[in-house]
């Protein structure tokens, strides 16, 4: 996050540009959604917190449904999470018509408890088909919904592997390709070190604000479905052949100069770390032309002074159809028994429509991509069809409910300390793993909250 008033002003200005663009793009084609009677409809929308509502949904509804009055129901004000029982109790008392679940992770339990309407019936009755949408979205929502479709997500988040084509030519290395694993990417980063790029202060791979050992280890392990710990079992799981191979690789590549370790400090305010423009600039080696590869959101880079290429994000070596770099989060659901369920469905159908896909292409949204595959007719980037064919990884780590959130930071600090000691030759990889396993288990045990 950026902390300066200048960066805040930039965010506000960009938000206004997006809002105006949405209104202009939609104003000419959405008159059919206006109320024929002129009467103002009321739709109660439940969401975690009202901040960000305008850009996420409000601007679209203003343009497409000018006669619709919206009442917002904040389920978790200030983004302070509540238990699922408290959440369901509030749903029953507030009786919203439309539910925006965002990042809450409550969808599966709400579906299992009969709190949501199965929207598959409405989808079949509409002109839309499941085949019109990103298949990973439909698969995940059905899987988490016990086989039924209790929500739709109009967008998904996608990272891609960007590369500096000029650097690949300079060092005589074959450029990345679609379908690489994270280990393929790391080996390629090692090729740059082997070619002497570190002498030019160029690294093979770099992640801004994510170049310390714990971040790099997480990037590699999550792509391969490896877990450091499991909240369900209460066990740290680092002492295994797979982890040993991974940590050996990380230590070796740091030693060769394939990565640059940057411990950039931000301002910690109430548990959130803020980074100013100077820190962000220092961290982004790819923009500076000092990193051959990086992972970032689609549409992230524009106007850089070198040729930028992109391929699909790393896939799992165990299932090359899946990747950890695609995610579905912005679920839209209709609470069971909602009074204005038909109007809620009209809003969902609109957000899933070709119209919105076209608007997203026009504003080049950095943070999400339309689930509607019509987007591919508006954005002709050659890599995109392959991206839409990939499926997201299956979630496995589970909720950390019942554990002190401070555990995450303490465990990351432990990983950094022990891996840095191995990189500096102060201990063996075996000793590093043993220390993380033993001390990590002690941290996890201590983080268990008593009822």
Give the burial class of 128: count Cβ atoms within 10 A of its Cβ; 0-12 exposed, 13-18 middle, 19 or more buried: middle
Q: How many CA atoms lie within 13 A of 232 on its CB side?
A: 6
Give dist(CA 204, CA 258) in Å, integer: 5
Q: How many CA atoms lie within 13 A of 99 on its CB side?
A: 32
Q: What is the pLDDT of residue 13?
A: 33
If you average pLDDT over residues 315-324, what whole number do you get? 92
Lowest mean pLDDT among 17-26, 185-194, 364-373, 436-445: 17-26
What is each CA distance from 442 to 229, 402, 407, 431, in whole angstroms?
Answer: 12, 16, 10, 17
Exposure string over 224-241, b if 16+ CB within 10 A, otherwise e: bbbbbbebeeeebbbeee
Q: What is the pLDDT of residue 56?
A: 80
Q: Quick check: 73 pLDDT over 60?
A: yes
Whether the Cβ atoms of residue 409 and residue 198 lie closer than 8 Å to each other: no
Q: Could you tell me which residues are beta bridge partners of residue 71?
A: 44
Q: What is the pTM of this model?
A: 0.85
Q: Dihedral (C-alpha) 58, 61, 67, 73: value to the nearest 10 degrees?
A: -50
Tell me the three state secondary structure of residue 180. Answer: coil
Whether the Cβ atoms of residue 345 and residue 111 lie closer than 8 Å to each other: no
Question: Tell me: the pLDDT tens digits for 86-114?
Answer: 999 999 999 999 999 987 789 999 999 99
Give dist(CA 203, CA 188) in Å, integer: 11
Residue 1's pLDDT band, with cuts at 50, 70 and 90, is very low
Q: Which of 29, 16, 43, 36 is nearest to 348 (CA)?
A: 43
DSSP code per residue over 379-421: ---TTHHHHHH-EEPPP-S---TTB-THHHHHHHHHHHHHHHH
């Amino acid at each position: 996050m950026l902390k300066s008033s200048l960066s805040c002003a930039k965010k506000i200005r960009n938000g206004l540009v997006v809002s105006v663009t949405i209104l202009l793009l939609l104003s000419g084609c959405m008159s059919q959604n206006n109320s024929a009677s002129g009467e103002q409809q009321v739709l109660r929308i439940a969401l975690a917190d009202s901040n960000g509502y305008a850009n996420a949904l409000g601007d679209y509804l203003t343009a497409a449904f000018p006669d619709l009055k919206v009442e917002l129901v904040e389920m978790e004000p200030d983004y302070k999470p509540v238990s699922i029982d408290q959440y369901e109790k509030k749903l029953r008392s507030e009786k919203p018509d439309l539910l925006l679940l965002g990042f809450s992770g409550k969808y599966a339990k709400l579906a299992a408890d009969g709190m949501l309407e199965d929207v598959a019936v409405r989808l079949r009755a509409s002109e839309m088909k499941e085949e019109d949408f990103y298949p990973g979205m439909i698969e995940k929502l059905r899987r988490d919904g016990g086989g039924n479709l209790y929500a739709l997500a109009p967008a998904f988040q996608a990272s891609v592997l960007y590369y500096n084509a000029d650097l690949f030519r300079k060092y005589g290395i074959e450029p990345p390709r679609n379908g690489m694993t994270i280990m393929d990417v790391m080996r390629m980063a090692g090729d740059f070190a082997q070619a002497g790029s570190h002498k030019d202060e160029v690294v093979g791979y770099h992640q801004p604000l994510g170049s310390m050992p714990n971040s790099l280890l997480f990037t590699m392990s999550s792509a391969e479905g490896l877990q450091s710990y499991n909240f369900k079992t209460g066990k740290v799981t680092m002492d295994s052949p797979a982890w040993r191979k991974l940590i050996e690789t990380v230590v070796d590549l740091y030693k060769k100069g394939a990565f640059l370790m940057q411990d950039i400090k931000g301002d910690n305010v109430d548990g959130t770390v803020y980074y100013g423009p100077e820190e962000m600039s220092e961290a982004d080696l790819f923009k500076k032309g000092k990193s051959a590869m990086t992972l970032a959101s689609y549409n992230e880079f524009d106007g850089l002074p070198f040729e930028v290429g992109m391929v699909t994000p790393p896939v799992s070596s165990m299932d090359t159809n899946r990747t950890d770099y695609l995610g579905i989060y912005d679920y839209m659901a209709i609470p069971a028994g909602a009074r204005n369920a038909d109007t809620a469905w009209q809003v969902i159908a609109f957000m899933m429509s070709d119209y919105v896909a076209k608007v997203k292409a026009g504003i080049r949204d950095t943070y999400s991509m339309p689930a509607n595959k019509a987007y591919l007719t508006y954005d002709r980037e050659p890599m995109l069809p392959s991206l839409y064919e990939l499926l997201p990884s299956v979630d496995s780590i589970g909720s950390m409910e019942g554990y002190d959130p401070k555990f995450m930071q303490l465990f990351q600090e432990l990983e950094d300390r022990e891996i840095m000691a191995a990189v500096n030759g102060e201990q063996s990889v075996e000793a590093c793993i043993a220390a993380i396993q033993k001390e990590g288990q002690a941290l996890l045990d201590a983080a268990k909250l008593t009822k």
